[in-house]
């Protein structure tokens, strides 16, 4: 098991555009995914992108059955998504609270497309093609933003809806990130 340090907002590596994966089903790629899984699970994250551990490749993982960080969210199947392509299925946007392992202890309200089709590949190179909505669509958009150097605070429209988790949600048990 290999835990990797998660870069925090302010580190310039989080602002870079990541490169596509050229070869699938390699020991290096499977090792990267394993390290990302270990790191995400220990930190109770809903998702993690490779650049968050300093690897500038277009690899994200996400999914949970019950997330202590998002107690009201429906389960999202555990997914490894590589070289993703995102396509909104309608113009409808929805505001929702997000956190990020690279912005620990904070939450912000972020607009995302409600209906989303995403395509890509798993670590073995098998194609993935799904149409999703709601929190599932939100998580995918959040993680894939990392691949283009975008952190969720950069998308907040009303900065009065951005702050420390403990102050925004007093008395609620929200896992620290
Ligand atoms: Ni994030």
Residues 105-141: tens digit of each pLDDT: 999 999 999 999 999 999 999 999 999 999 999 999 9
In the prediction, which pLDDT does 71 show? 73
State the distance from the centre of ligand 1 to the C-alpha of 161, rounded, in angstroms.
17
CA 9–ligand 1 middle distance (angstroms)? 10
Catalytic residue (choose from 92, 94, 143, 167): 143
Q: How far is the CA of 65 from the centre of ligand 1 (A)?
A: 18
What is the number of domains present in the chain? 1
Domain range for 151 is: 12-168
Return the pLDDT at 73: 76
Residue 2 lies in a domain: no
Q: What is the pLDDT of residue 175?
A: 54
Is 143 an active-site residue? yes
Determine the average pLDDT of the residues in 36-53: 96
Tell how far the Cα of 109 is from the centroid of ligand 1, in angstroms.
13
Mean pLDDT of 69-93: 92
- Residue 6 covered by a domain: no
Q: What angle do CA 163, 8, 176 make, to 5 degrees?
A: 50
């Amino acid at each position: 098991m290999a835990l990797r340090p998660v870069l925090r907002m302010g580190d310039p590596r989080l602002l870079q555009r990541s490169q596509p994966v050229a070869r699938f089903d390699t020991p290096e790629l499977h090792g990267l995914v394993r390290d990302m899984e270990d790191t995400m699970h220990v930190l109770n994250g809903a998702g993690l992108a490779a650049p968050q551990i300093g690897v500038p490749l277009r690899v994200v993982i996400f999914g949970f059955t019950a997330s202590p960080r998002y107690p009201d969210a429906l389960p999202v199947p555990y997914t490894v998504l590589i070289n993703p392509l995102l396509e909104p299925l309608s113009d409808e946007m929805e505001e929702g609270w997000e956190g990020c392992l690279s912005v620990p202890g904070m939450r912000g309200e972020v607009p995302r497309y409600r209906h989303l089709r995403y395509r890509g590949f798993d670590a073995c190179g098998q194609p993935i093609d799904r149409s999703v909505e709601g929190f599932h669509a939100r998580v995918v958009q959040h993680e894939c933003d990392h691949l283009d150097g975008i952190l969720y605070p950069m998308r907040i429209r009303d900065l009065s809806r951005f702050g420390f988790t403990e102050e925004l949600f007093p008395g609620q048990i929200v896992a620290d990130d």
